Every structure is written in structure tokens, then in C-alpha cells.
Amino acid sequence: MTNPSVRAADEAKAQDGSDPRCVPIKLGAPIPVGDEIAYPRYSEEEHEVWRTLYARQEKLLPGRAAGEFLTGLGALDLDRERIPALADVSRKLHAGTGWRIARTPGLLDARDFFAHLAQRIFPCTDYVRGRSELDYTPAPDCFHDIFGHTPMIMHPRFANFYQKIGRAALNCRDAIVEESLTRIYWFTVEFGLVRNPEGLRIYGNGIISSYAETQFSLTSQARKRPFIADEVARQPYDIWHLQGDLFVVGSFEVLESSFDDWSARNGLA
């Protein structure tokens, strides 16, 4: 997989090279994992940005976020007041689903990123966006990565699915299949919806870490379609606007088995 835009909606929105945070990094050496990750010396301003983002998103979650996301968030018990230590989050993930966190210096080269996923390691940033970027940042940051991504990695079936995306990407040699896989990543990991017993809910972290996307995604302005892997693979996406097409999975068991089937048929399993 050569397209780094697969990583995240926000990250994909700025590939013009003007922001060094958006230039994919090709690793020349291993990055620290789990307890190897040192806790940075954050300023009070940086903690305040985290606190503001957390409080604002948390208010939107009831009635919108998937039960599976909320269960993961609760189990992680993230600090609302101060930026959590990646080593601590990694320990909780490992206890939950066997995943760990690696500290990435920024947006990773796609192959490096997927090679980590394939080993059940989530590359995660530890810096936070500036106060002027509360609503939008083109670059990955730890609010998107920790608050947005890690709760779903606590779900056993989603955790398996996420690893399988990494493995499939590493096995991919065909540009068309690669684009299809990118679309599946986009409409699940970043912009997925799930039908909970209580109704339609958000699990995609591109939505759940964004104030505007969270509010927009469940309105009638966003078209919802059932998740059928072949249809998702054919659906182009628009990185510049709020997502007008979204796909709904019935459960994460179905998501994982549908992806297994799609990967096998496309020679990626």
C-alpha cells in the first residue's frame, strides 16, 4: 500500500507538503513500543488543548457513539485532564486485546504503518494540535490517535479486523485492489457506522475525533448504506468535505468475516 492517505481523514486532507507534519516518514530504525516510550514534557497549554478537546467530544458521545467504542473508552479510563502516557495506554490495550502502541514521530510511510498493524502494534503520535487547530488539523495528533483510535482497538473483533487490514495491505501488489482496500479502510476505521440495538451509532475515529463530523454523520444529509465489502470497495471518497456516504455494519463479527471473505477473494489473506 503506497497511499498514506489511508491512515486518516484529517491526515489525508493535507498532502501538499507545506506542513512537515503531513510528510510521511519512512522509518530507518525501530520506534519505541510500550514501556520503551518516554513521557514527553508537555506544557500546561498542551494539556489544556487535550482537556478542551476531550470535554467537547465527550459531550457529543451519548446517543451517537457506538456502545463498543464507549466500552473501550471506559476500559481505557483515559485521563481527561492531562495527555495520557502512551506507555500506560499501551499496557491497557495489551491487557485487553494483545495490541500495543508504538510512538511514531509523525505520519508514517504507509508500508511502515501497515507493518505495525500486522503485528498488532498501533503507531501513535504523542504531540497535540495547537489551540488554533481545535476544529481541524491536517496532521495526525494524539487526540485523534488516542481518543479516536484506541477505544475500538479494545474490541476483540475490531482488533482482529484492524490487524487483518495491516496484513492485507502488506500482501497487496495490485493498484486497483490497493485502492479498494484504501476505501474499505476509509469507510470502516475512519468513517464507519454500526447498528447497535439502540440505533445507528458511530465507531469510525475520523468521525468520532471530529466535532463537525460527529454532528453531521447521523443527520439525514449523510446517506447510509449497508456495509457490503464489494460495494464499499467501489465507492470513491471525498477527502475535502464532510462525508456524504457512510456504510453501516450490523456487528463487528460480520465486519471481520466480510473482510476475511473479501481479502480471500482478492488474494490478500
* Site of interaction with Fe ion (CB under 5 A): 8
Nearer to Fe ion, 88 or 190 (CB): 190
Residue 122 CB, nearest distance to Fe ion (Å)?
A: 10
CA distances from residue 7 to 105, 110, 122, 144 in whole angstroms, order as listed: 15, 8, 11, 11
Cell 500486522 sits on residue: 118
Residue nearest to Fe ion (CB): 8
The active-site residue, picked from 178, 190, 213, 256, is: 190
Nearer to Fe ion, 81 or 104 (CB): 104
How far apart are alpha carbons 169 and 24 in whole angstroms?
17
Residue 46 CB, nearest distance to Fe ion (Å)?
A: 20
How far apart are alpha carbons 4 and 94 in whole angstroms?
26
The active-site residue, picked from 116, 149, 178, 213, is: 149
Nearer to Fe ion, 19 or 174 (CB): 19
Residue 39 CB, nearest distance to Fe ion (Å)?
A: 22
Nearer to Fe ion, 2 or 257 (CB): 2
How far apart are alpha carbons 100 and 150 in whole angstroms?
10
Q: How many CA atoms lie within 13 A of 52 on its CB side?
A: 14
- Please indicate whether residue 47 is annotated as part of the active site: no
The active-site residue, picked from 68, 90, 116, 144, is: 144
The active-site residue, picked from 209, 210, 217, 258, is: 209
Nearer to Fe ion, 104 or 266 (CB): 104
The amino acid at 167: R
161 with 256: CB under 8 angstroms? yes
Cell 487526540 sits on residue: 143
222 CB burial (10 A radius; 0-12, 13-18, 19+): middle
- Please indicate whether residue 209 is annotated as part of the active site: yes
- Which among 198, 182, 265, 199 is positioned nearest to 7, based on CA atoms? 182
101 with 121: CB under 8 angstroms? yes
- Please indicate whether residue 144 is annotated as part of the active site: yes
As annotated, the active-site residues are: 144, 149, 190, 209
